[in-house]
Amino acid sequence: MSYPELVTSALTALKSNVLRTLLTMLGIIIGIAAVILIVSLGAGATQTITNQISSFGTNLIVVIPGSLSQGPPSGLGGSVKTLTPEDGEAILGSGRVVNVEVVSPMVTKPTKVVAGGVDVSATVQGVAASYQILQSVDMAQGEFLTEDHEQGLSRVAVLGADIAVDLFGEGAEPVGKSVKIDNRSFRVIGVAAPKGGSPLANPDESVYIPYTTAMKVLLGQNHVQAIMVQAVDPKLIDQTMEDINTLLSERHKIADGDDPDFSLRSSKDALATLDTVTGLLTALLAGIAGISLLVGGIGIMNIMLVTVTERTKEIGLLKAIGAKRRDILTQFLIESVVLTLVGGSIGIVLGISLAYVITQVVNIPFIVQVSSIFLAVGVSAGVGIGFGFYPAQRAAKLSPIEALRYE
């Protein structure tokens, strides 16, 4: 018999007991829907987090004081006071670090900012003029900090979008007005455009002032809490990090084999960590989906065995009119594969629909990977063949007289 004829007759057999067919397929439907859903949500979530990390800059390196092997530094800076703005100048200007474009030293202080009797908690960030390029700060009003402000220790401030609204109200024009940071007056020269929160920091709740002013006036210190370095080409970031390591080790007189008093981080590291975590999660969830498919497959095998027993007389008749073992085997195998493929298709549609609804609700990108659909189809067919083989073989091996005599 030809395959289209076998598929048609398999569909006829499955249609003859719709409820049983549906119940049998349930395991496969749930398993396949779970696979599609998990892969889709995983891809959506990964993309969301990757976007957030990337918005921080994929070519960004952060130098922070303290060594990772000495335990985590207590916040940015901690007690190690050896990282200075001069280190930053050396990274940019010495010519010994390849692939460097922009460098900004950074100090931070969480403090109160006051204007016209309103006070707000903000993260005051002392940064260089180049920070605007580093973090792509768009301006809603006025200007960002300039190098003149750095050199002149100017008391000027750029407000984050939320801070500007909290202090001056919606639609106000704070540029030129005065705010008090730590009881010292600063002139507002600009307001940053809203950027949205990231898991690392919320730039909308920051106030930017020149790092020189922050170090001398607010903090009274000569060291910085971080140096942010932007590489030109993200692919060469490993070489850049190595160069920075060599340069700073020399400047800080770190002997070979000693722990350095600084450490380097890049967003690439964060992405790698993310990959590991999502990989583990995906493996775990795929395991659960696999168990569901296994249970579904056992259900298929069970029902196919019942079907073979129920249709013993039919098998006897087919053998009497000339069906060979192979004909019977193929017929029942195709029946179980059609069963799992129909179940798999329902599962794919269900999985995609659920993924769409969930991604809309939790507001992550809706991504359906074509590979996951191919995988689902392959797995369904595989389950059908794998778990359908034993019942089909049992049918094929029936002796024609036993089968004809069966009541």
13 binds other proteins (CB under 8 A): yes
Piece of the chain touching other proteins by CB under 8 A; list 23-31, 199-207, 288-296, 309-317: 309-317
Alpha helices by DSSP H, 202-252:
211-213, 237-251
127 binds other proteins (CB under 8 A): no
Q: Are 137 and 255 in contact (CB under 8 A)?
A: no
Nearer to other proteins by Cβ, of 13 and 157: the residue is 13
Q: Which of 10, 103, 157, 318 binds other proteins (CB under 8 A)?
A: 318
Query: Taking the complex as a whole, how short is the minimal distance between the CB of residue 8 and other proteins, in angstroms?
Result: 10
How many chain residues interact with other proteins (CB under 8 A)?
Answer: 24
404 binds other proteins (CB under 8 A): yes
Query: Taking the complex as a whole, how short is the minimal distance between the CB of residue 367 and other proteins, in angstroms?
Result: 43
Tell me how far apart the alpha carbons of residues 111 and 182 are, in angstroms, rounded to a whole number: 7
Q: Which of 149, 195, 268, 319 binds other proteins (CB under 8 A)?
A: 319
Query: Taking the complex as a whole, how short is the minimal distance between the CB of residue 53 and other proteins, in angstroms?
Result: 59
Tell me how far apart the alpha carbons of residues 170 and 184 are, in angstroms, rounded to a whole number: 25
Q: Which of 320, 353, 356, 360 binds other proteins (CB under 8 A)?
A: 320
Nearer to other proteins by Cβ, of 101 and 327: the residue is 327
Nearer to other proteins by Cβ, of 88 and 316: the residue is 316
Tell me how far apart the alpha carbons of residues 325 and 1 are, in angstroms, rounded to a whole number: 13
Q: Which of 54, 314, 375, 385 binds other proteins (CB under 8 A)?
A: 314
361 binds other proteins (CB under 8 A): no
7 binds other proteins (CB under 8 A): no
Q: Are 344 and 380 in contact (CB under 8 A)?
A: yes
Interior/surface letters 292-316, b for 16+ CB within 10 angstroms, e for the rest: bbeebbebbbebbeebbeebbebbb
194 binds other proteins (CB under 8 A): no
Tell me how far apart the alpha carbons of residues 221 and 237 are, in angstroms, rounded to a whole number: 31
325 binds other proteins (CB under 8 A): yes
First to last CA, the chain: 27
* SS3 assignment, position 343: helix
Residue with tokens 């989906």: 289
394 binds other proteins (CB under 8 A): no
323 binds other proteins (CB under 8 A): yes
Residue partners of 287: CB distance under 8 A and separation at least 6: none
Nearest CA among 279, 390, 339 for reference residue 38: 279
Nearest CA among 225, 243, 277, 227 for reference residue 53: 277
3 binds other proteins (CB under 8 A): no
Tell me how far apart the alpha carbons of residues 393 and 78 are, in angstroms, rounded to a whole number: 72
257 binds other proteins (CB under 8 A): no
20 binds other proteins (CB under 8 A): no
382 binds other proteins (CB under 8 A): no
CA 63 vs. chain centroid, Å, equals 24
Piece of the chain touching other proteins by CB under 8 A; list 8-16, 199-207, 272-280, 345-353: 8-16
Nearest CA among 266, 356, 296 for reference residue 22: 296
Please report, as ranges, the residues that interact with other proteins according to CB under 8 A.
1-2, 5, 9, 12-13, 16, 313-314, 317-327, 399-401, 404
